[in-house]
A and B are shown apart, each in its own frame.
Chain A
Amino acid sequence: MTGEFTQLSCQELVELVTDYLEGVLPEGDQRRLEEHIAGCDGCRDYIEQMRATVALTSEVRPAGITPEAEDALLAVFRDWKTT
């Protein structure tokens, strides 16, 4: 089966991880990737790390604007309100 396709190297695999996690890998690449990770714990760990990175990023507090800028915004609104 694998003879049909050249095998994926680890270096190639790391570039496909986002497409893989986004579910947009073409079928052939998807199969090559899954065959590869079945026998490569380094790449399995790598994909787990990317998953953990995405999960952790979702817990980061978004960059807010400064409290001064928030006050200024409210002032803009109150100004507008009277128009």
Chain B
Amino acid sequence: MTARRYSRGVDQVASVDDARLIEALRERNEEVFERLTREYNSSLLRVAQIYVTSRAVAEEVVQETWLGVLNGIERFEGRSSLKTWVFRILTNIAKTRAQREGRTLPFSALERPGTVPEPAVGPERFLPPDHDRWPGHWAAKPEPWPEDRLLAVESRRVVQDAIEALPATQRAVISLRDVEGWSSDETCNTLGLTETNQRVLLHRARSKVRQALENYLAEAS
């Protein structure tokens, strides 16, 4: 019955699938709740970590978010997708928590990631700009990676560690885009980023993960 309200053919509006999920939540369907939390928790955690530093607090923010979702589901009108709505609740809670902790919000990191240059590859890997024949060309060029070692479990751990070591905004972007497989649009909407800034953050994150893999594969071979 209420489902009809959501089936408007407009982007970003709750889909028919969403309508079913919303109905199920309203009917207090535990299985659906578990499915949704399992699907979104890792992304929610990554976004929360942009605002609150401690992992424990970020997990509390995720928990508060779901309570907010449950308490608000009756009034949710489906003007956005369920996902967008859930992440908006999370962002509001995370911002409030960050303020309470007296933490400056990382707006600059989200809005102006380009202000501090961060080369994708260290300058020492290239010939100097005043080189007479090949300025800016590889001094130490990348070697092809051994396929078998790249596909081993250990390489995945290297990627995981490299992602953990990233600044929170870069970590959130690479997690949503490359780990979770979100589109660039979804990522920009959820994080309130412009396309350009999202790409800057993604570029930095991917470049660092590549560097970590290169270091690992070079040291072990």
Q: Is B97 an interface residue (CB 8 A)?
A: no
In contact, A10 and B206 (Cβ under 8 angstroms): no
Residue of B30, B45, B207 touching A63 (CB-CB under 8 A): B45
In contact, B70 and A80 (Cβ under 8 angstroms): yes
| Contacting residues of chain A (50-64) with chain B, CB-CB under 8 angstroms | 50, 52-54, 56-64
Minimum CB distance partner of B209 in chain A: A53
Interface 9-mer from B80-88, B100-108, B133-141: B133-141
In contact, B70 and A45 (Cβ under 8 angstroms): no
Q: Is B150 an interface residue (CB 8 A)?
A: yes
Residue of A22, A58, A64 touching B181 (CB-CB under 8 A): A58
Chain A interfacial residues counted at CB < 8 A: 44
In contact, B143 and A58 (Cβ under 8 angstroms): no
In contact, B210 and A42 (Cβ under 8 angstroms): no
In contact, B30 and A18 (Cβ under 8 angstroms): no
Quote the shortest CB–CB distance from B13 to chain A (angstroms). 26
In contact, A60 and B206 (Cβ under 8 angstroms): no
Q: Is A27 an interface residue (CB 8 A)?
A: no
Quote the shortest CB–CB distance from A34 to chain B (angstroms). 17
In contact, B67 and A60 (Cβ under 8 angstroms): no
Pairs across A and B, CB under 8 Å, 5 listed: A14-B119, A19-B199, A40-B138, A56-B159, A76-B66
A37 to B64, CA, bound (A): 50
Minimum CB distance partner of B62 in chain A: A65
Complex interface: chain A residues within 8 A of B63 (CB): 69, 72-73, 76
Complex interface: chain B residues within 8 A of A60 (CB): 156, 159-160, 163, 179
Quote the shortest CB–CB distance from B85 to chain A (angstroms). 17
